Amino acid sequence: MKNKLQILVLSFDGFSDIWPIFFDSFYKNWIDCPFKINLITNYKKYEDERVNSIKTGEDVSWSYNLMKALVTLETDYVLILYDDAIINKPVNSKKILEFLDICYKLKLNYFRLRNSPDPDIRINEEYGEILRNSYYRTSLFSSIINRKVLLNLLRAEENAWDFEFNGTYRSRNLSGFFATYEYHIPILHAIEKGKWREEAVILAKSFGIDCGKRGYYIPTKSNLKQSLKQKIIFFIPQKYHIRLIYWVRKLKKLLR
């Protein structure tokens, strides 16, 4: 199974205080997980024999560290998880294996296991296809993606937000991008802008974590503006997303 799919948790040493919460919740809610689990770190090792810590060294960039981790894995597909997305409900291993089987049968490049956003073309009641010009087409969280394809889409200098846009644009020549109509890996989003979200504080304190060290996340006008922008995007037909965002960014550069 490890040569077909491995789990890769994106992290770095600055989030090591989150690891015990993440993995404790992971193993409580995904008891029969059949996949090898890898954690990206800089220099630290997570002391659990079930977890393979991939030490990437200096924190050069989000994409660079991810690329360094990917080349160490001997697997066709990776399932990407984030360290601050705490699995808080049971995961159905049988269903994940069914989706992996579909990846092989249809030679998919990408299969997002959540409906955020929904796919564009319905194939059946469970999943559909994502159009080439759809925004968030390469959003990695809770997604099964061909390891070699992901390596080809990444650029060492890009951060996560750059990749979400530019990776989507670069993927426009690739087919085989699917998404489900349900969340198959339910999570609690614990951290925002490096601080604890209100809904995660009780969980953190149950692990003896002093939340005051990170502080508490309080939405600002800029955060609300970003949230509003994302909501507006969902109302625009997805086939226009890439073109629209491209021209908005170009206009911003001209106005500087």
What is the arithmetic mean of pLDDT over 251-256?
65
Strand partners, 216: 196
Whether 234 has a pLDDT exceeding 60, the answer reads: no
Which residues form the domain of 21? 5-218
- Whether residue 128 lies inside any domain: the answer is yes
Q: Whole-model pTM?
A: 0.86
CATH number at residue 138: 3.90.550.10
In total, how many domains does the chain have? Answer: 1
Cβ proximity of 4 and 100 under 8 Å? yes
Q: Is 167 helix (H, G, I), strand (E, B) or coil?
A: helix
Query: How does pLDDT run across 163-202, given as a tens digit for each residue?
Result: 988 999 999 999 999 999 999 999 999 999 889 998 888 8
Cβ proximity of 135 and 238 under 8 Å? yes
Give the least confident one: 90-94, 126-130, 238-242: 238-242
- Whether residue 237 lies inside any domain: the answer is no
Cβ proximity of 111 and 144 under 8 Å? yes
Can you tell me which residue has the tokens 């993995």?
Answer: 23
- Whether residue 247 lies inside any domain: the answer is no
Comparing 250 with 183, which gets the higher pLDDT? 183
Give the least confident one: 97-111, 123-137, 222-236: 222-236
- Whether residue 236 lies inside any domain: the answer is no
Whether 248 has a pLDDT exceeding 70, the answer reads: no
- Whether residue 254 lies inside any domain: the answer is no
Residue from 79, 97, 86 nearest 32 by CA? 97
Comparing 222 with 192, which gets the higher pLDDT? 192
In angstroms, what is the C-alpha Rg of the chain? Answer: 18
pLDDT for the residue 224: 53
- pLDDT-derived band at 219 (thresholds 50, 70, 90) equals confident
Residue from 68, 65, 57 nearest 83 by CA? 65
- Whether residue 232 lies inside any domain: the answer is no
Give the separation between CA 37 and CA 51, rounded to whole angstroms. 5
